[in-house]
Chain A
């Protein structure tokens, strides 16, 4: 009896320790975000004091003013938003079409074509940097926003995600029945496939938006003049070895992070599932 109680007490302490460790770890994960928002409301000299500010201050508007003076802040924000939205819309259209075709249609070279598309996922991103720049240069797309949303519009990841979803949740009979009733192929896609794909489109849309919003390497290679910078590039350009406006830079980083926090708060489960879907299969 006493041995049993001893055991359960032991278990209770180990459960408590487990909670404590996991909780502390979660705090370490979240702390940088907290300080980003706190520092965003302090001037540069306030940030670097002993001890550093732990609570929000009053310098946010000043920091915003410095941001607009040092970089093309509003236009960068606008480009980031515009490119993210355009990239999301195009990706949804092309990947749903591609995924539907690979799932439901029979055509010549379907297997090798699908492997070819999937193969592009294996190519490391650094390998594409130079060719991307050279192709964009030849096309005259340097400093053009569409250089960032057109090439990735039919992404392998998106096509894969859509194909999986079509295979598991759209009955072939439904498509056949619609075809028998004389519905056109485009009509089937628009009126049957797209509505049924909605959950998957939502996930892919979120992932695409976030990826484009955070994209750094892409704009770094093709956006060469400061007035065409997206937000991450513009923020990076504020970094200087001698005199960086850290308060303003934190304000800019906080503004770049806030939309993601909001999206994540409402759809964390869906996002986590989508982003790890390729792995968990």
Chain B
């Protein structure tokens, strides 16, 4: 080991692949992360309001992917995403034969994990599938703390369900949204296992599925450059810290509120 000053940092900041991996990471964090909350919030509301006897089983079904092995999951999705005979492409092929609606579906089988433009959507779907249940449970817990008489009063005043959702539920969920989005963001920026396994550890064609955490691993263990890899992980850490701080600014209740 020799002292090299800031060389590793400068090298990383001038590295094209590093910036590509940062772009990939942010793309994946946004496209896998935002839908998690857009689905989890209404889902939690419906389960909270309508499901009584089947509640635990329903929540369990959504939560199950969260506790299963990422390797097993990723292997499963690799077969489902397979080009020629994969189930997902076969469903799409059937849909493409439908009259009228069929035109919206691609007529050719999609090489999900092989072609650079499809790798990220495929990875995002797996990540979304794995974590949506976790967020649903968070929102369910938050919903239980909203006092019922607020809704009763609103109903008396003639507010419909949509208005109640918009003016009571959503504002009351705000602290949990802040917390959940922060967790998703921190997790999303560290994304490693799903893309690593779905792209066979190499990042996919054109490095389209290579996240920064994965690039860090490859730099250290495939290219044997621990110094650069360490610089890389510190730069990623700074990104994570800045983003957490930014969400904090956006969502945190101000002053006497909350």
Contact = CB atoms under 8 A, between A and B. Distances in A.
A49 interface: yes
B76 A275 contact: no
Interface stretch (B28-36, B133-141, B148-156): B133-141
A276 interface: yes
Contacts, number: 168
B225 to A, nearest CB: 10
Interface residues of B, number: 66
Interface string B160-200: 00000000000000000001100100100110110001001
Interface stretch (B78-86, B116-124, B247-255): B78-86
A250 B90 contact: no
A39 B230 contact: no
A255 to B, nearest CB: 9
Interface stretch (A30-38, A97-105, A154-162, A194-202): A30-38
Contacts of B189: 124
B237 interface: yes
A205 B138 CA distance: 22
B51 interface: yes
Interface string A17-45: 01101100110111011011001000000
Interface stretch (B9-17, B52-60, B98-106): B52-60
B110 interface: no
A276 B85 contact: no
Given A130-B230, A276-B141, A257 B75 contact: no
A126 B67 contact: no
A59 interface: no
Interface in A251-269: 253-254, 256-257, 260-261, 264, 268-269
A256 B69 contact: yes
Contacts of B236: 124, 126
A275 B43 CA distance: 19
B2 interface: no
Given A48-B82, A216-B193, A246-B79, A26 B72 contact: no
A32 B133 contact: no
B215 to A, nearest CB: 10
A250 B79 contact: yes
Nearest to A271: B67
Interface stretch (A106-114, A138-146, A184-192, A232-240): A232-240
Contacts of A52: 85, 87, 90
B46 A18 contact: yes
24 contacts: A18-B46, A26-B61, A29-B64, A32-B129, A33-B76, A48-B85, A124-B240, A125-B190, A125-B192, A126-B236, A134-B226, A217-B193, A236-B197, A239-B197, A257-B72, A261-B64, A264-B64, A264-B67, A268-B60, A268-B63, A269-B56, A276-B141, A279-B180, A280-B138
Given A25-B39, A125-B192, 18 more contacts: A29-B61, A33-B64, A33-B76, A48-B84, A50-B90, A52-B85, A124-B189, A124-B190, A125-B190, A133-B220, A214-B71, A216-B193, A217-B193, A233-B71, A235-B75, A253-B75, A279-B179, A279-B180
